[in-house]
Amino acid sequence: MKGDITFSIIKPNAVRTGKSGPILAMINEAGFEIAGMRMIKMTQEQAESFYEVHRERPFYRDLVDFMISGPVVVMILRHENAVDEFRKLIGATDPAKAEPGTIRKIFAVSVQMNAVHGSDSDENALREAGFFFSEIDRF
Ligand code: ATP
Ligand code: MG
């Protein structure tokens, strides 16, 4: 049903430092169902295209380099009002501004290395999931 799906990435810094398990536990405890999950290493082309909307921003090159610096965990998550509920769970982009108890407050080390990605609209959730999952992977 529309609005029930979001897309998330556990970013390279968090995977590298062994935080995938604790982050997944928080996602489960918050009531999200993991509808699809894989560990991958993004190609440069995937990362560039994924963050296309930020192409003109000064941090774009660094962001792409960071996102391809190691494996990431890509996930499709199911929950009522999934996009908004997940963005509440992860907190603000800048961990200094994130609410206590949010994933970014706990696991981010900087604005760039902010541990997780969460889609910002239903439309983008479907677009982003489509980068990494084919229909048959979703269950
Ligand atoms: P995400 O899209 O990863 O869920 P977001 O929607 O909170 O995060 P965006 O504005 O879409 O934030 O930025 C995408 C990503 O680009 C951020 O998660 C962060 O890793 C990086 N980023 C954003 N702003 C900056 C900045 N000022 N300096 C460095 N990196 C940044
Ligand atoms: Mg965003």
Residue 139 has a pLDDT of 54
Distance CA(46)–CA(75), nearest Å, equals 16
Ligand nearest the Cα atom of residue 6: 1
Q: In what order do the strands lie in the sheet with 33-40?
A: 33-40, 72-78, 5-10, 116-118
Task: Determine whether the shortest distance from the Cβ of 61 to ligand 1 is under 6 A.
Answer: no
pTM score of the predicted model? 0.95
Q: Please, which residues have CB less than 5 A from ligand 2, an ion?
A: 120
What is the rounded CA–CA span in Å between residue 119 and residue 74?
A: 12
64-123 confidence digits (pLDDT tens)? 999 999 999 999 999 999 999 999 999 999 999 999 999 999 999 999 999 999 999 999
For the record, the structure tokens of 60 come out as 């774009």
On whether residue 22 sits in a domain, the answer given is: yes
Q: Is the CB of 118 under 6 A from ligand 1?
A: yes
Q: What is the residue-averaged pLDDT of the chain?
A: 95
Give the pLDDT of residue 2.
Answer: 62
What's the CATH code of the domain at 110? 3.30.70.141
Q: Is residue 67 part of a domain?
A: yes
Q: How many domains does the chain have?
A: 1
Q: Is 79 a catalytic residue?
A: no
Asked if residues 9 and 86 have their Cβ atoms less than 8 Å apart, the reply is: no
Which ligand lies nearest to the CA atom of residue 7 in the structure? 1
Work out the pLDDT band at 3, boundaries 50, 70, 90.
confident
* Amino acid (one-letter) located at 138: R
Q: Is the pLDDT of residue 137 over 90?
A: no
In a domain, 139, yes or no: no
Tokens of 65: 């380099």
How large is the average pLDDT for residues 2-11? 92
Evaluate whether residue 29 is within a structural domain.
yes
So what's the pLDDT on residue 36? 95
Q: How many angstroms separate the alpha carbon of residue 118 from the centre of ligand 2? A: 7
120 close to ligand 1 (CB < 6 Angstrom) = yes
What does the pLDDT read at residue 136?
Answer: 60
- In-domain check, residue 37: yes
Rounded mean pLDDT of 23-36?
97
Distance 25 CA to ligand 1 centre (A): 23
Domain assignment of residue 89, yes or no: yes
Pull the structure tokens for residue 67.
């996102």
Q: The domain containing residue 115 runs over which residues?
A: 5-134
Helix (H) or strand (E) holding 84: helix 82-90
Confidence of residue 1 (pLDDT cuts 50, 70, 90): low
Give domain status of residue 55, yes or no: yes
